[in-house]
Amino acid sequence: MQEYLSNGRLLRLCLKELRESLRDRRTIMTLIMMPILVYPLLSMAMQRLLLGAGNAPSAQLEYVIGVPDESTARVISLALRETQRAASEGVRPSIEILRPAPKDANTNPNSGPSSEVDNDGNSPGVNSVEGNSPGEKSEQKSSLENGNGINSPTVGAIRTNQQAAFSIVVPERTTVSNSLADGQLDLAIRSASFERFPLPNGVSLPVFGFEMEFRDGDPRSEMAMAEFRKAMQLINDYQSAILRGNRLPASVTLVSNAVGQRADPMASLAGVLPLVLILMTITGAVYPAIDLTAGERERGTMEAMIATPAPRFILLLSKYVAVVTVAVLTALANLFASWITLSLGGLGRALLGERGFSFWTLIQIFPLLVIFAAFFSAILLAMCSFARSFKEAQAYLIPVMLVSLAPALVTLMPNVEFSTLLGIVPLVNILLLSRDIMTGASTALPAFAAVLSTLLYAAAALVVASRLFGGESATSGSQESWSDLMRRPKRRFPTPDIGELAIYLALLFPVFFVTTNLAGQWVLSIEQKLLVNALLLFGLFLLAPFFFAIYRRMELKQTFLLRLDGAESPNGLPRPVRLIGVLAASCLMAAGLWIVAYETLKLLSDVGFGTIDLQKTAALEDAKSRFREVPFWLIFVTSALIPSICEEFFFRGFVLSAFRSRLHPIRAVIYSALLFGVFHVVNGYVLSIERFAPTAILGMALGFLAIRTGSLWPGILLHAIHNGLLFWLTRFNQSELAEWLGSNSKHFPTAWILASVGSIAIGIVVLYFSTLKRSDEVSP
Amino acid sequence: MIVAKGLRKQFMVRGQTLVAVDRISFTVGNGEVYGLLGPNGAGKTTTLRMVMGLLEPDEGHVEIGGVRTDTDPMAIRSQLGLISTNDGVYPWLTVREMLMYFADLYAVEVPVAQIRLEELAELLNIKSFLDQRCSTLSTGQKQRVTLARGLMHDPPVMLLDEPTRGLDVVGSQTVFEFIELLKKRGKSVLLSTHRLDEAERVCDRFGLLHHGTVRYEGTLDDLRSLTGKYHLVDMFIDLIREDRQPASPSPAGA
């Protein structure tokens, strides 16, 4: 493959594909004409929508009121029944309410007759008692109309031309306030009081007091609050009418509290823009993807092309570069067109709040679109590589687009939060991340997961595409299918190749991310947490790759470097001496490396890069003292021994072997170390970027050791000692450390640091002499 | 030099096994044109694809220049040139761009490719439209571009898959001249065609394929003495007549 990449050949191959795409008028149409047309039209539609939104009545008629217990619910039912009575007596409310009788009153399921228990299952897991607002029955309506005077103009902020119904629920397993904040309730009534106020004439008047909460800025919640207030006002009016001016305490006292941050009422619309941008990026990529794969076959150039000695992956890569370029150009054109449209029309502010669609937002969104283009182009190529004609490619793509559109539409719904776990859902993650960036509310961990997982999926899709591209099925007409990709190979392979690694990583990362996240969120004791983490590592980094390697018929000894000692060394040293030398070198390097790792972390924290202190990595501040109570052997086994075995198996075994199958060992070590670092950034359910550098440094040392010795075992020893020492450090509290390391307890004394560097240097020298003349292990 | 030994390939088509090629062997020497002849569906294209390394044979192997194709399929491919009926051109590229693209695919260095391009342009009379987009070319011009494309890496072995199908007299004549040129340059040419009259004109030796097996092999004189017929066409008509007689078993099923 190397000769194909020399002298700019890859660049020339990419240029050919780009020429082919960009000289085609149809590509240019999508690239330039679509953005010019789409955004002004979209902006016009949006403007109409926004103009309408100001006056539009809430379509939902039934509001959900949450109460803490059933006695509160009963008080509310009672109050609402009072309201009904007031309405049926024809009280003219002091606040005028416009209520035209709806023609479909009987067909509207929400305005059915009152029932005590509501079993409609709208809110699973909540008990529901339903009360009704005034004017449920037709005679009530007519009386209300009479009292109201339909011609009288509405006054004040409370204005409705629809009926309102309330269902009362008692949330289970959570408080009403939380439930309100989650959006499951429209209104929360935290407390209700009820008593009867005796009148001299022997009648007693009901007196109510309510304390309620609503979500500030949420139109639906505000509407529910207003409707409830109106209903209660009707009781007051009724009673003051009965009492004819007698000064008595108000029958209903209402206290309402606005809770939560004032949500942007247009927040859900902010999701539209990323969706349109993503859809346009897809549109830009579709035509070139079909044209450069299935089109190649249709024009009759495919066979001549794959009959050449050019590796298929290179052929596909050049096509991929072209498709991504066109997609990115389309994305750029759309981004600018939308930016100009939104900035000019003032629509940006209406959609995205005060900040509007700033140029800075554009700069932040662009890389996301590039990542998305990289991902979707790979998917498109994988689909089209399988097709034999344009028509067939289109037939494959349409379902894919529709299927990907469905979850995309979900992101448009209000209250869809970009939770951590959604970070690994392709397409949805990029959409939600773009939306959050536009509204200025993005968070680091899901953003990291979104970017990394999308890139990994892209790589895996590209590998699949290159295996399908120009395959036997495409040229000969035999009935081969996708399942061939997954089939167990017939011959044996010495090690995994980079393609298999890409596919494995695309499967591993989401599983790893979700499981570590869930494990981090479970409320478990520290001991259980340690055990669960160790089990996860064992499953994902040792067992799974091991079975994968067996299934794909790889040589296990070669893939996982299972030999204790590589080939016989010709330097004349007896085997035990060599082994002892290697082990001593591992120990010496470990003795120095843990201090280097600690200092790197500290340094990164000092310059403000870090998010957490090293001593907090093991357990957060509140758990620190409890962590010290855990027996050290348990910490050593779960956090040093098992991780070192599992991670060495995966990163220095599987990953390094895969990279070495195609790359120079030095590059292979660097790439595997970077991957090692990236996987350590996801630390439970927190993102610790500062762990990347020290882990990658350790990864390079371990990779170097693995290549030099041809064995995994010295690395396991080094890794275990390194982790063990770092965790041993967490056994001490600040004052103990200060006593031990001197007053400057944040850093090791200079002498220690120098000693550690010396130890690493001696370790390298010992390693060099113990593995001398093993040139076969270091040459490419 | 091409040596094919006992090639066999079967496909699964709708759950049924179809033997496309059944133990075919032949040899093509340097400067020799070997005609792989047979009606449609005889297994010619499948055989060519196995020689090319695009299909892996179920049995048997192919040697190009004494090297088995399954040892290093990629290296073997640079020894082969392929021209087929279905060959198209890139409509949006110029002739020069397309030929240089194929030179890149065959890992020919740019200066070498440029010299070869000029030489082939002269030889195949495509110089006048080298910088024209391929979509603007006539059928005859496209065909000459395709022939030039097959020689951009100067392969010792050339495979021609029905090169004259759909061409008029002038087009076919160009192909014949091209084959003469290949012969003169000492290349081994494997030509698959169902145009028997043309094959008689250009081929040195023949392999008559029917139902995936070679029925007769040799020079035209060999075949004439074997079959007692003068023209290839008559030999084939005999083969097909055999099929129609219910008594004789089908060779493919054997």
Condensed to tens digits (0 to 9), the pLDDT of residues B61-118 reads: 999 988 888 888 778 888 999 998 778 899 999 999 999 999 999 999 999 999 999 9
Hey, is the C-beta of A481 within 8 angstroms of any chain B C-beta? no
Kindly state the average pLDDT of the residues A242-264: 63
Kindly state the average pLDDT of the residues A145-152: 33
CA-based nearest residue in chain A for residue B152: A308
Q: Do B92 and A24 touch (CB under 8 A)?
A: yes
What 3-state class would DSSP assign to A258?
A: strand
Q: Do B54 and A304 touch (CB under 8 A)?
A: no
Question: Closest to B82 (Cβ–Cβ): which among A20, A304, A476?
Answer: A304
Q: Do B11 and A478 touch (CB under 8 A)?
A: yes
Q: Which of B101, B110, B146 to mutate to test the interface with A (most CBs of A within 10 A)?
A: B101
**How far is residue A361 CA from its own chain's centroid?**
19
**Is residue A224 scored above 70 in pLDDT?**
yes
Check: CB of residue A695 under 8 Å from CB of residue A676: yes
**Is residue B163 scored above 60 in pLDDT?**
yes
Q: Do A307 and B89 touch (CB under 8 A)?
A: no
Cα–Cα distance measured from residue A532 to residue B37, given in angstroms and rounded to the nearest whole number: 69
A266-280, A309-323, A601-615, A637-651: lowest mean pLDDT where?
A601-615
- B75 vs A contacts (CB less than 8 Å): 309
Question: Closest to B92 (Cβ–Cβ): which among A13, A23, A309?
Answer: A23
Q: Do A303 and B84 touch (CB under 8 A)?
A: yes
**Is residue A774 scored above 50 in pLDDT?**
no
> Do the strands B16-28 and A62-66 form a parallel or antiparallel pair, or are they unpaired?
unpaired
Sign of CA dihedral A589, A592, A595, A601: negative
> Do the strands B67-68 and B80-84 form a parallel or antiparallel pair, or are they unpaired?
unpaired
CA-based nearest residue in chain A for residue B85: A300
Cα–Cα distance measured from residue A361 to residue A356, given in angstroms and rounded to the nearest whole number: 9
Check: CB of residue A625 under 8 Å from CB of residue A736: no
A373-387, A642-656, B179-193, B220-234: lowest mean pLDDT where?
B220-234
pLDDT above 70 coverage of chain A, percent: 75
The interface pTM score, or ipTM, of the predicted complex is: 0.88
DSSP A57: P
- A4 vs B contacts (CB less than 8 Å): 107
Cα–Cα distance measured from residue A348 to residue A341, given in angstroms and rounded to the nearest whole number: 8
Rg (CA), chain B: 19
DSSP A260: S
3-state secondary structure A475-495: HHCCCCCCHHHHCCCCCCECC
Residues 287-326 of A with CB under 8 A from B: 299-301, 303-311, 315
Specify the DSSP element, H or E, that contains A683: strand A682-683
Q: Do A479 and B87 touch (CB under 8 A)?
A: no
Q: Distance between the two ends of chain A, CA-based, in angstroms?
A: 14
Question: Closest to B90 (Cβ–Cβ): which among A20, A315, A475?
Answer: A20
Hey, is the C-beta of B97 within 8 angstroms of any chain A C-beta? yes
Which of A169, A165, A168 is closest to A125 using CA atoms? A169
Question: Closest to B102 (Cβ–Cβ): which among A24, A308, A475?
Answer: A308
Residues 72-91 of B with CB under 8 A from A: 74-78, 80, 82, 84, 86-91
- B46 vs A contacts (CB less than 8 Å): 476
Question: Closest to B107 (Cβ–Cβ): which among A4, A299, A305?
Answer: A4
Q: Do A308 and B84 touch (CB under 8 A)?
A: no
Q: Distance between the two ends of chain B, CA-based, in angstroms?
A: 30
One-letter amino acid at A614 equals L
Which of A737, A714, A413 is closest to A579 using CA atoms? A714
- A472 vs B contacts (CB less than 8 Å): 54-56
Cα–Cα distance measured from residue A726 to residue A594, given in angstroms and rounded to the nearest whole number: 6
Q: Do B88 and A301 touch (CB under 8 A)?
A: yes
pLDDT at position A100: 35
Look-up of token digits 């935290």: A190
DSSP percent split of chain A into helix, strand, coil, nearest 5: 65, 5, 30
Closest Cα in chain B, distance from residue A1 (Å): 10
Q: Do B87 and A300 touch (CB under 8 A)?
A: yes
Closest Cα in chain B, distance from residue A314 (Å): 10
Rg (CA), chain A: 34
- For A4-54, the pLDDT digits (tens) are 677 788 899 999 999 988 998 888 888 888 888 888 887 777 777 766 654
CA-based nearest residue in chain B for residue A13: B101
**Is residue A62 scored above 80 in pLDDT?**
no
Pair of tokens at residue A670: 């660097």
Q: Do A475 and B49 touch (CB under 8 A)?
A: yes
**Is residue A119 scored above 50 in pLDDT?**
no
| pLDDT top residue among B46 and A257 | B46
Question: Closest to B104 (Cβ–Cβ): which among A9, A306, A479?
Answer: A9
Cα–Cα distance measured from residue A284 to residue A282, given in angstroms and rounded to the nearest whole number: 5
Q: What is the DSSP string of A107-176?
A: T-GGGSPP-SB--S-SSTTEEEEEE--S--SHHHHHHHHHHH-TTSPP-SS---SS--EEEEEEESSS-H
Query: In sequence order, what are the residues at sequence separation of 6 or more whose Cβ sits closer than 8 angstroms to the Cβ of residue A649?
Result: A541, A542, A545, A546, A560, A712
Kindly state the average pLDDT of the residues B190-207: 88
User: Helix A34-55 to helix A272-292 angle, to the nearest 10 degrees?
Assistant: 160
Q: Do B90 and A310 touch (CB under 8 A)?
A: no
Question: Closest to A309 (Cβ–Cβ): which among B11, B74, B133?
Answer: B74
Highest mean pLDDT among A175-184, A609-618, B194-203: B194-203
Cα–Cα distance measured from residue B188 to residue B176, given in angstroms and rounded to the nearest whole number: 15
Closest Cα in chain A, distance from residue B230 (Å): 35
Entry pTM:
0.73
Closest Cα in chain B, distance from residue A680 (Å): 40
- A16 vs B contacts (CB less than 8 Å): 90, 93, 97, 101, 104
Hey, is the C-beta of A489 within 8 angstroms of any chain B C-beta? no
Cα–Cα distance measured from residue A60 to residue A49, given in angstroms and rounded to the nearest whole number: 18
Cα–Cα distance measured from residue A713 to residue A536, given in angstroms and rounded to the nearest whole number: 21
Check: CB of residue B126 under 8 Å from CB of residue B98: no
One-letter amino acid at A457 equals Y
- For A712-743, the pLDDT digits (tens) are 999 999 999 999 998 888 777 767 777 776 66
- B74 vs A contacts (CB less than 8 Å): 309, 311
Burial A323-342 (b: 16+ CB within 10 A, else e): bbbbbbbbbbbbbebbbebb
Query: A246-249 contacts: CB < 8 A, separation 24 or more?
Result: A248/A197, A248/A205, A249/A197, A249/A207
pLDDT at position A162: 41
Torsion of CA A401, A406, A408, A412, to 10 degrees: 140
Question: Closest to A307 (Cβ–Cβ): which among B12, B82, B110?
Answer: B82
pLDDT, averaged across chain B: 86
- A7 vs B contacts (CB less than 8 Å): 109-110
- A23 vs B contacts (CB less than 8 Å): 92, 133
**Is residue A466 scored above 70 in pLDDT?**
yes
Hey, is the C-beta of A388 within 8 angstroms of any chain B C-beta? no
Hey, is the C-beta of A751 within 8 angstroms of any chain B C-beta? no
3-state secondary structure chain B: CEEEEEEEEEEEECCEEEEEEEEEEEEECCCCEEEEECCCCCCHHHHHHHHHCCCCCCEEEEEECCEECCCCHHHHHCCEEEEECCCCCCCCCEHHHHHHHHHHHCCCCHHHHHHHHHHHHHHCCCHHHCCCEHHHCCHHHHHHHHHHHHHCCCCCEEEEECCCCCCCHHHHHHHHHHHHHHHHCCCEEEEEECCHHHHHHHCCEEEEEECCEEEEEECHHHHHHHHCCCCHHHHHHHHHHHHHCCCCCCHHHC
User: Within 13 Å, how many C-alpha atoms sit on residue A327's CB side?
Assistant: 32
pLDDT, averaged across chain A: 77
pLDDT confidence tier of residue A516, bands split at 50, 70 and 90: confident
Query: In sequence order, what are the residues at sequence separation of 6 or more whose Cβ sits closer than 8 angstroms to the Cβ of residue B185?
Result: none
pLDDT at position B105: 93
Which of B172, B147, B209, B183 is closest to B28 using CA atoms? B183
Closest Cα in chain A, distance from residue B73 (Å): 8
Question: Closest to A309 (Cβ–Cβ): which among B75, B87, B97?
Answer: B75
A359-363, A479-483, A524-528, A656-660: lowest mean pLDDT where?
A479-483
Q: Count of CB atoms within 10 A of residue A219's CB? A: 14
Distance (Å) of CA B74 to CA A3, A451, A465, A490, B30: 12, 36, 20, 20, 21
Q: Do B86 and A300 touch (CB under 8 A)?
A: yes
- For A377-412, the pLDDT digits (tens) are 999 998 888 788 888 888 988 888 888 888 888 777
Cα–Cα distance measured from residue A85 to residue A34, given in angstroms and rounded to the nearest whole number: 60
Residues 11-40 of A with CB under 8 A from B: 12-13, 16, 19-20, 23-24
**Is residue A225 scored above 90 in pLDDT?**
no
Check: CB of residue B47 under 8 Å from CB of residue B63: no
Pair of tokens at residue B171: 């087009």
Q: Do B107 and A3 touch (CB under 8 A)?
A: yes
Cα–Cα distance measured from residue B56 to residue A491, given in angstroms and rounded to the nearest whole number: 14
Which of A246, A180, A181, A254 is closest to A211 using CA atoms? A254
What 3-state class would DSSP assign to A586?
A: helix
pLDDT at position A491: 75
Rounded to whole angstroms, the maximal C-alpha distance in chain B is 63
pLDDT at position A422: 85
Cα–Cα distance measured from residue B170 to residue A576, given in angstroms and rounded to the nearest whole number: 80
Rounded to whole angstroms, the maximal C-alpha distance in chain A is 117
- Strands of A528-637, DSSP E: none
**Residue B7, by phi and psi: left (phi above 0), alpha (psi -120 to 50) or beta?**
beta
Q: Do B105 and A19 touch (CB under 8 A)?
A: no
Closest Cα in chain B, distance from residue A664 (Å): 21
Query: A245-251 contacts: CB < 8 A, separation 24 or more?
Result: A248/A197, A248/A205, A249/A197, A249/A207, A251/A205, A251/A206, A251/A207, A251/A208
- B55 vs A contacts (CB less than 8 Å): 472, 475-476
Query: B102-106 contacts: CB < 8 A, separation 24 or more?
Result: B102/A304, B102/A308, B102/B149, B102/B152, B102/B153, B103/B152, B103/B153, B104/A9, B104/A12, B104/A13, B104/A16, B104/A310, B105/A13, B105/A305, B105/A308, B105/A309, B105/A310, B105/A315, B106/A308, B106/A309, B106/A310, B106/B78, B106/B152, B106/B153
- For B125-158, the pLDDT digits (tens) are 899 999 999 999 998 899 899 999 999 999 999 9
**Is residue A489 scored above 90 in pLDDT?**
no
A154-168, A509-523, A580-594: lowest mean pLDDT where?
A154-168
Cα–Cα distance measured from residue A453 to residue A508, given in angstroms and rounded to the nearest whole number: 10
- A309 vs B contacts (CB less than 8 Å): 74-78, 105-107
- For A292-335, the pLDDT digits (tens) are 988 888 888 888 888 888 888 899 999 999 999 999 999 999 98
- A476 vs B contacts (CB less than 8 Å): 11, 46, 49, 54-55
Kindly state the average pLDDT of the residues A52-64: 56
Cα–Cα distance measured from residue A451 to residue A557, given in angstroms and rounded to the nearest whole number: 34
| pLDDT top residue among B212 and A321 | A321
Closest Cα in chain B, distance from residue A610 (Å): 48
